[in-house]
Structure 1
Amino acid sequence: MTEPVPVAPADGTGPTPEEVGWRRLPGRMLLVGPATALLRLAPALVVLVLFGAGSGNSTQVWIAGAAVVVAVAVGVVRWRTTRYRITDERVELHSGLLNRQRRSVPRDRIRTVDLTAPLLHRLVGLSVVKVGSGQSGSDAGLDLDAVTTDEAERLRRELLARPAPARGPAAVAGGTGADRARVEGNGADGNGAGGNGAGGDAAGGDGTVGPADPVDPAGEELDRIDWSSLRFAPLTVSSLAAIGALAGAGWNVLNETGLDPRSLPGADAVAGELSAAPVWATVLVAVALLLLVMVAGSIVLFVERWWDYRLSREPDGTLRVRRGLLTKRSLSVSEQRLRGVTVSEPLLVRALGGGAQAGALTVGLAGEDTDSGGGALGPPVRRAHAHAVAATAARATGPVTDGPLRAHPARARARRLVRAVGPALAPAVALGVFAWFDAAVWPVVVGVALVVVAVPLALDRYRALGHRLDERYLVARHGSLLRTTTALRRDGVIGWRVRQSLFQRRAGVLTLEATTAAGGGAVQVLDLDPADAVALMAAVTPDAVTPFRA
């Protein structure tokens, strides 16, 4: 079903875009597409069939049958109208019959290639290829759902191929790494202009991408799953949120099918025992059951998400994260797009388990989304191990995100105390007024507890503040509920933004943001002394700051 692809001429010029043949998705998609749609409609279809057959109303059964026929027809049309091709300059995808879509992504804009294989796809040997460009609009990226597993791996290597050597005079042999970085900075990302000239995330100096080199499939393994990390599973926010979503979906299914948990055998006896017990005992049992479900569910989700996790450095110059039990996922990021690394420490993971999670600060991939796995280099692990993974990914010989940081002025501590205690005083006063009229003690206790808890939280936020500038990295740390340490490469800084609120002006501090094309677009250094901010900018980008200092 795949149209022939022209062979490049002997002179190496390659086929023109018009000569490159269009390719279709494999015929196995006729099984996966309708099956996936029917699985999503399964609860509604089950309700229609059961109630229709039980009540003797065949209309509902016919509706369910029609839904199956429509799902199959949509799958056939989607397979028939979808085609793609890869030229030397672009990746193009055409799809749709009534609503036709034409997607085209320049190859020098490709930042990530994500291979995902849900269970149904794996059963028939297919994978979904998600091409990310880090852009919005027409160049935002595209999904090939789906191609064969072998074709997906070949596309991964081809689309993340190393750029062709620059042909300009700056690319002569013997040039320094900084020289090459400045030449590459003139690529599509534009980091070389207006910054310090080391964007380096685009293709070569002429903006072209060379063909994929033959590579050894075995890469250098940097990290693999350590099941002692299971203790962090109940402490992550994403696991708790996912459990809540699954519980809500299950409750909706029970409501749709008319099932009542109280009708289960033994439910009446349990309800009678709980009603006869003291209120505090009933609450304790309910809390214990809730904790048991949350812990068991979070462990199951952790295993499904991080099963067979491996972090490797591939011979084609990419960092690759592979993980997943039911849904296999492989995320590849070109190291040329890597601008730094992060280490995130959620409060519960840090306080109860001493853990952290390493992430990538990459052009086209949000590195802050570590808890959900978006920019994560691995699962939550021991804090020292997370810092080691970050340093290894950054090819650093020593600690990058770890080590001493420069403390911020005492005025920043006062700001955190005011910002934490102030919001806690409002509900405390309201509870005190309620206790006055109701003659109760517990509102006063709750109000005082809110204020007492706010003080150590504010002090912890101040202790987290800090920054460091070394030969290669700008390191900044902040946060308490989610403490984040970010190490941004100095040649990844493309500009500065200075923000100062009214209260910051009164305190004599400001927020300095190092803008970058990676992650969330900026690295914040909070509540910094103005003199330190100017010195920091001058050290990283002296040419950009000289006019302001004059």
Structure 2
Amino acid sequence: MTPGEKDGRPPAPGAPSGGKDLEREVERLAVPERSLLERDGGVAAVSPGEHRANPLSVVVEALKMASGLVVLMAFGLAGDFFAGDLPTLATLVLAAAGIFAACLALSLVVWRVRTWELTDEGVVMRWGLLNKRQLTIPYEHIHTADMSSELLDRLFGLMTLDLDTGAAAAEGDAARMRGLRAGEAEALRAELFRRKRAAGSPAGEKDGAPAASDDGVPDERPLATFELAGRQLLLAAASQTSAASQAVALVVLLVNGLNQLIEWGVLDLAGTGDELVATALPVLVPAVAAFVLAAIVLGAAVSFVLGLVRYAGYRVERYADRVVVEHGLLSRSSRTVAVDRVQHVVVRQGIIRQLVGYAEVYVQVVSAPGEADGEPSGSVLLHPFVRMGELDALLAEVLPAYAGVVGQVELRRLGPVACRRAVVRAAIWWPFATAIFFGVHWLFGLSGLLASAGWLLGPLLVAAVLLSVVLLAGLVVDALLAWRGARYGHTARELVLVSGGFTRRTTIAPRSHLQRMQVSASPFQRRAGVATLSARTAASDAEGLELRDVPADDADALLAWFRPRG
């Protein structure tokens, strides 16, 4: 739309229309039945009646269904092409065309039978060819509305709008509107929240609607906007590396490669293992150390690139009744959260971000267990890289109800007994593992295997001992950091818990959102005078809402604070 049409006015005479007019005309040709938007008294709204996905989605979904088989056939086509086998090549081409045609027909059938409609009661989703099904989602039950676009969808300008009411496991794919143009998805999401606001307003739509401009169009401009600058984007990606998984993957690849070399006879270790280890051990140790270092560096580089792809284009906008978070370079994600559905806030800091004084902020909403964009479906990334000193300023603009809570509450620390118990929990497994290790060593000695393959088992057992010692040290350090950083406290209306070692979590949960709080103590805890405090909100993810070894008196005081008063 041109700037004049966006405000409900015709463009000025002689104003350049640019590519927007052409895009609008192409979109009207693509959906000849009706346009998604219409204007009633100057106010843009979704046109009545049933709607389907954009016809371009038929091709996109067919390509997705056939992509795996097409890739497999592409390798076959390449081999036959270089081999000069033209009859087989023609057969594979026809087979690929037939598969795509079948997927295209199936996609067309799904497109025809799947519709959605906005009614007075809510969003009505209809689907099914033989068994007709219908799902009605009341507007006031919508917790989040997520827009996502995979790489192939972005090439065609399509998006998926996913509605979440907290019963995603039951609704499943039925609550998704696929194949929407980007402008249509944004307009539809704004309309859904306008109707949600109107449904939740006791005085009706007039009181629930945002302020209108002079021409009667609702003012839907964001109240606050935050973006991630270039330097912040680089630091956010660099501080969110996960080198361990990449290193493990490289180790697995190396082991598989060595096994393949042995099968090919390149490394014939039969009968020469002792001599090989004796001669190669001085070189093998630094080589392994260099490989581990290279794996960590390469893994960090890969994680850095993945972080850039994930956080690129980050943007959060605060409206009167919702928060919109967008990020992603290849696959674009836009998640909309109703402010009144936020259950608690989690501020998370990895070990690197603890050192530099930054954190990432998540909001927890009501949702069924699952995954969305690499995050738990009930967890929405609010900000990926915020300075701890600027946290209250961010919350004051985006979620004012949570601003200033951490600074107001008097946080208490765990006692020395909690430190001792944390170290014991971290190290209790090591004596048992050591006993099992020596038991296995003894069994190998009895069976004679240790004598025949000592050149291989010896270094493996030494590596296992070293690995267990490193793991023990890491767990003990994590326990000490968790005890040192643990805090707990409350204001008149909010509970604040700080937990975690290498990954520290600060959780802010309003008392009105806590559905239950429990204080439990094992016989050992009762003897030490401590207890475990756990709380739950309506969100499926209870991260950060549990703290061990709280003094029993303080745990009882927190439980008394939570109990309803007369």
Query: Fold conserved (TM > 0.5)?
Result: yes
Give the structure 2 partner of residue 144 of structure 1: 177
1:521 & 1:101 partners in 2: Cα distance?
A: 34
State the shift of 1:348 in Å.
4.9
Between 66-75 and 285-294, the greater mean CA deviation after superposition = 285-294
Q: How much has 1:507 moved relative to structure 2?
A: 3.5
Contact 2:246 2:296 in 1 (8 A): no
CA distance in 1, matches of 2:240, 2:472: 26
CA apart distance, 1:95: 2.5
SS in 2 for 1:480: coil
1:57 corresponds, among 88, 97, 102, to 88
Structure 2 match to 1:186 = none
| Alpha-carbon distance in 2 for matches of 1:451, 1:466 | 25
Which of 67, 82, 92 in structure 1 is aligned with 2:124? 92
**Residue 452 of structure 2: aligned partner:** none
Is the radius of gyration larger for structure 1 or structure 2? 2
Read off the aligned partner of 1:57 and give its amino acid letter.
Answer: T
Map of 1:2-151 to 2, 5 A cutoff?
2=33, 21-53=49-81, 54=83, 57-58=88-89, 59-97=91-129, 101-139=133-171, 142-151=175-184
Deviations 1:75-94 (A, max 9, x none): 22222222111112221222
| 2:493 aligned with 1:490 | no
Does the Cα contact within 8 Å between 2:517 and 2:533 map onto a contact in 1?
A: yes
Q: Which moved more, 1:233-242 or 1:218-227?
A: 233-242
Question: 1:239 touches 1:302 (CA, 8 Å); kept in 2?
Answer: no
* TM score, norm. by length of structure 1: 0.73
What do the CA deviations read for 1:62-112 (whole angstroms, capped 9, x no partner)? 432322222222222222222111112221222343675533322221100
Q: Distance in 1 between matches of 2:466 and 2:333?
A: 49
| Maintained 8 Å contact 1:311/1:319 | yes
Tell me, yes or no, if the aligned pair for 2:517 and 2:562 is still in contact at 8 Å: no
Q: Aligned partners of 1:376 and 1:392: how far apart in 2?
A: 16
State the shift of 1:129 in Å: 0.5
CA distance, structure 1, for counterparts of residue 435 and residue 372 of structure 2: 37
Residue 496 of structure 2, aligned match among 471, 475, 486: 475
Partner of 1:181: none
Deviations 1:113-165 (A, max 9, x none): 11112233233332111111112454566111121222211111122237557
Query: Do 2:480 and 2:501's aligned partners in 1 also have CA atoms closer than 8 Å?
Result: no
1:417-456 to 2 correspondences below 5 Å: 417-431=423-437, 448-456=469-477
Residue in structure 1 matched with residue 326 of structure 2 by the alignment: 322
Q: Give the deviation of 1:42 after TM superposition.
A: 4.1
| 2:363 maps to 1:360 | yes
CA contact (8 A) 2:362 2:382 kept: yes
Do 1:498 and 1:511's aligned partners in 2 also have CA atoms closer than 8 Å? Answer: yes
Q: Distance in 2 between matches of 1:277 and 1:41?
A: 49
User: Paired residue for 1:462?
Assistant: 483
Residues 360/33 of structure 1: CA separation in 2 closer, same or farther (3 Å cut): same
Aligned to 1:510: 531
Distance 1:93 1:370 in 2: 23
In 1, Cα distance between equivalents of 2:250 and 2:161? 27
Distance, in Å, in 2 between the alignment partners of 1:415 and 1:134 is 38
Higher mean C-alpha deviation, range 110-119 or range 60-69:
60-69
TM norm structure 2: 0.71
- Whether 1:295 aligns to 2:300 is yes
Counterpart pick for 2:291 among 261, 286, 290: 286
Tell me by how many angstroms 1:434 deviates.
7.4
Question: Counterparts of 1:302 and 1:207 in 2: how far apart (Å)?
Answer: 44
- CA distance in 1 between partners of 2:406 and 2:400 (Å): 13
Q: Give 1:35 deviation, angstroms.
A: 2.7
Name whichever structure is richer in helix by fraction. 2
**Conserved in 1, the CA contact under 8 Å of 2:139 and 2:196?**
no
Alignment partner of 1:520 is 2:537:
no
Q: CA deviation at 1:34?
A: 2.0
Contact 2:233 2:312 in 1 (8 A): no
1:335 has 2:356 as partner: no
Q: SS of 1:468's equivalent?
A: strand
1:21 alignment partner, SS class: coil
Structure 2 CA distance, aligned partners of 1:386 and 1:21?
Answer: 45
Match in the other structure for 1:265: none
Question: How many angstroms does 1:328 deviate by?
Answer: 1.9
Question: Are 1:538 and 2:560 counterparts?
Answer: yes
- Aligned-residue Cα RMSD (Å) equals 4.4
**1:199-278, aligned counterparts within 5 Å?**
203-204=200-201, 213=210, 214-233=218-237, 236=240, 278=283
Deviations 1:418-454 (A, max 9, x none): 1011123333445567789869977666555554444
Q: Percent identity?
A: 26
